[in-house]
A and B are shown apart, each in its own frame.
Chain A
Amino acid sequence: MSSTKKQFLEGAAAIAEVINRIKPEVVSAYPITPQTHIVEDLAQRVADNKSAYEYVRAESEFAAASIVLGASATGARTYSATSSQGLLLMAEVLYNISGMRLPVVMTVANRAISGPINIWNDHSDIMALRDCGAILLFAETHQEAIDQHVLAYKIAEFLNLPVLVNVDGFIMTHAFSGCYLPDSKTIKKFLPKRNLVKGEYLNPQFPVTMGVFGGPDSYYLFRQLLQKDLLNSLKNIKKEYADWKKIFPTPKESGTLTSNGLIEYYGSKKPALVIVAMGTICGTIKKVIDDYPKKIGLIKIRCYRPFPSVEIKRALKKTKKVLVLEKCYGLGHESPLKLDLSAALWGEKIDLRSEVLGLGGQDVTEKKITNLIKHYEK
């Protein structure tokens, strides 16, 4: 068990604190609800001379993403955070960051997309960018968010890939919960300084050309490599998560049967039905599973990109019914997580259904989830 004592913190405060302990060198962000508490906290630390990073105030999310891109290319460990429209405004830059293989880490406080304008939580923002070439992690609890940010930097800097840690806007960012924070020494043991290779970052001593023009004879090679490295990163994420939890163990929930960097399985060993979901909604689902008269399971996806198809398939071996609960429509077609599962479960004899809920902060109650399960069972 960790030697640090349990703290009762706001989600944003917990994230800001762990980011500070990770010791980024350049932070840049633009205000957008519900991400603001994180970057306000990080700015306050600079004002109080309690931090070593440069805080660059950006005039838009587009600029913030570009600033961390430039800093990362110059060898700095960077941090930014955004949400909703801000994430969409960053879209062009994020695709470029992964294409340039820069280890940028960001928090996305998931929020609905306009219109109508809505500042509350769902997953429409990140789903629009699910193919941007970044590794996408999703946190259910404050503890998971803390762990995933440390993990994010380790993976990003090891594989030269950006990592976006997704936390539900308000439901996590503004809610208080108990959690354990690793100290700087523990983090440093797992996450050493960024390893810089001469000629691979901007430095007048070793000139390098970054962001080249790739024609038809070379462009595809860059993209192939990116795809290959992303898919291969599944094993790194699993390994690094296991290593981290060895260094920094925290209490486990009794109903959790499988827990690794990619997924968590909660509930019955022989479930009649398995729910698949991501983020804070999983807490409510777990409560429903505990109280429900029949055997139900939950696959909580922690790593959404790359998609852990093999892990999910393995966890679904004992069931014939899968219910996806997700917070985003796939406008004009099936919703994103259902599509991903359809592909992963192709050829399996599984009845796969999905329900879109919790859009724009709509309350997801235990009763609602219970009713959906009952409806499916009919």
Chain B
Amino acid sequence: MKQYQSTKICPGHNACAGCGELTAVQAAFRGLPEKVIITNATGCIEVTTTSYPESSWGVPWIHSLFENAAALASGVLAALKVKGDTKTRVVAIGGDGATYDIGLGLISGMWERGERILYICFDTEAYSNTGIQASGATPYGAATTTTPSGKVTSGAHTHKKDLLGIALAHGLKYVAQSTAGFPDDITNKVKKALTVDGPSYLQILSPCIPGWKIKNDEAGELGKLAVKTGLYPLLEYINGKLSASSINAKFTPAPVQDYLNKQGRFKNLKTADLEIIKKIAEQNVSKYRL
């Protein structure tokens, strides 16, 4: 177990028991070097780790606002550059609301500047911190408090934004996707991303206990099922080319129902919705050569 212990983020924070996001954060932070500065967008990670006067962070960490973790990181990097510090790595982190929605313009600006900053999106597929409202990352069919299931609808009727595609369009040399079900994969991808001399992007599906309406011990399993169903494959693009998808030879497909049926947010899916979700998984399987 010792290899999994890290003082970069310490126990004692007040995230939900079994939180998939904090599990993913721990896995990501195991991949960081000693010399690192973190900028964090407003959201669950920030709120649960820094309730004054306590802090879970063993590394220099700053939070300012919801939408500006990327710009903060640019400022931190510029200051390090002036001071002649080329060793310290800068990592910006945020949830899907901060990344897909409110902070996207600032992330685009950071990527365009070509700065050596790793941005990690911990994707819970909704605004978890404010009570599970839909974001640009909310998948088709998921019920949230702003895309509730009702008499006529079963949940969100929009499709998840292709943020990896947006990252690739910026010419990022390293773009990857993982899930909280594969902590070692997360750690490895963080390490790889940090070797890139330029901006890099990592997106991690982070099952949310109250948001997905799952049991406290199911975050890891759902992270795995998201991959096996093809709905959230493990992906890695190096220099714009898909270099690895899922665990390739080890990939054992599973029907989407295995993933959906465990989650309260999908419990009112209509047959037509299920067909659409199946199609998304099929398209992913062919697109990403799973």
Establish whether residues B51 and A70, one from each chain, have CB atoms under 8 Å apart when the complex forms. Answer: no
Within the complex, which residue of A25, A54, A207, A210 is in contact with B63, where a contact is CB–CB below 8 Å? A210
Residues of the A chain whose Cβ atoms lie less than 8 Å from the Cβ of B37: 74, 202, 204
| A72 at the binding interface (Cβ < 8 Å) | yes
**CB under 8 Å from chain A, chain B span 56-100:** 57-65, 67-68, 71-76, 78-83, 88
Q: Known contacts A74-B37, A207-B58: does B109 contact A202 (CB below 8 Å)?
A: no
Residue of A nearest to B87 (CB): A204
A92–chain B nearest beta-carbon distance, Å: 6
Establish whether residues A209 and B78, one from each chain, have CB atoms under 8 Å apart when the complex forms. Answer: no
| A203 at the binding interface (Cβ < 8 Å) | yes
Q: Known contacts A63-B106, A66-B65: does B71 contact A215 (CB below 8 Å)?
A: no
Residue of A nearest to B38 (CB): A202
Establish whether residues B62 and A210, one from each chain, have CB atoms under 8 Å apart when the complex forms. Answer: yes
Q: Known contacts A204-B37, A212-B55: does B109 contact A69 (CB below 8 Å)?
A: no
Residue of B nearest to A215 (CB): B51
Q: Known contacts A59-B106, A60-B109, A215-B51: does B79 contact A76 (CB below 8 Å)?
A: yes
Assembly CA distance A257 to B134 (angstroms): 63
Establish whether residues A76 and B52, one from each chain, have CB atoms under 8 Å apart when the complex forms. Answer: no
Q: Count contacts on B: residues with CB < 8 A to the other chain.
A: 43
Residues of the B chain whose Cβ atoms lie less than 8 Å from the Cβ of A202: 37, 60, 62, 76
Assembly CA distance A56 to B109 (angstroms): 11
| B261 at the binding interface (Cβ < 8 Å) | no
| A28 at the binding interface (Cβ < 8 Å) | yes
Within the complex, which residue of B71, B76, B113 is in contact with A62, where a contact is CB–CB below 8 Å? B71
| A68 at the binding interface (Cβ < 8 Å) | yes
Residues of the A chain whose Cβ atoms lie less than 8 Å from the Cβ of B109: 58-60, 63
Q: Known contacts A63-B106, A67-B72, A70-B71: does B64 contact A204 (CB below 8 Å)?
A: no
**CB under 8 Å from chain A, chain B span 28-63:** 34-37, 39-40, 46-47, 50-53, 55, 57-63
Assembly CA distance A126 to B256 (angstroms): 55
Assembly CA distance A62 to B108 (angstroms): 13
A57-94: CB near B (< 8 Å → 1, else 0) gives: 11110111011111111111010000000000000110
| B112 at the binding interface (Cβ < 8 Å) | yes
Establish whether residues A215 and B52, one from each chain, have CB atoms under 8 Å apart when the complex forms. Answer: yes
Residues of the A chain whose Cβ atoms lie less than 8 Å from the Cβ of B80: 74
Q: Known contacts A26-B82, A59-B109, A96-B65: does B75 contact A212 (CB below 8 Å)?
A: no
Assembly CA distance A114 to B34 (angstroms): 48
**CB under 8 Å from chain B, chain A span 189-220:** 202-204, 206-215, 218
Establish whether residues B61 and A207, one from each chain, have CB atoms under 8 Å apart when the complex forms. Answer: yes
Q: Known contacts A66-B71, A213-B50: does B82 contact A54 (CB below 8 Å)?
A: yes
| B198 at the binding interface (Cβ < 8 Å) | no
| A138 at the binding interface (Cβ < 8 Å) | no
Establish whether residues A218 and B53, one from each chain, have CB atoms under 8 Å apart when the complex forms. Answer: yes
| B171 at the binding interface (Cβ < 8 Å) | no
Residues of the B chain whose Cβ atoms lie less than 8 Å from the Cβ of A54: 78-79, 81-82
| A352 at the binding interface (Cβ < 8 Å) | no
Within the complex, which residue of B51, B57, B105 is in contact with A207, where a contact is CB–CB below 8 Å? B57
Establish whether residues B106 and A68, one from each chain, have CB atoms under 8 Å apart when the complex forms. Answer: no
Assembly CA distance A78 to B58 (angstroms): 27
Residues of the A chain whose Cβ atoms lie less than 8 Å from the Cβ of B57: 207, 209
Assembly CA distance A25 to B78 (angstroms): 8
Residue of B nearest to A52 (CB): B82
A209-B62, A212-B51 are known contacts; what are 16 more A-B pairs with Cβ within 8 Å?
A26-B79, A54-B78, A54-B81, A62-B67, A63-B109, A67-B72, A70-B71, A71-B75, A73-B72, A74-B80, A202-B62, A204-B35, A206-B60, A208-B60, A213-B46, A213-B50
List, sorted by A's number, 9 A–B pairs whose CB atoms are closer than 8 Å. Answer: A57-B113, A59-B105, A63-B105, A63-B109, A66-B72, A66-B106, A68-B75, A70-B62, A213-B47
B residues near A (Cβ < 8 Å) are: 34-37, 39-40, 46-47, 50-53, 55, 57-65, 67-68, 71-76, 78-83, 88, 105-106, 108-109, 112-113
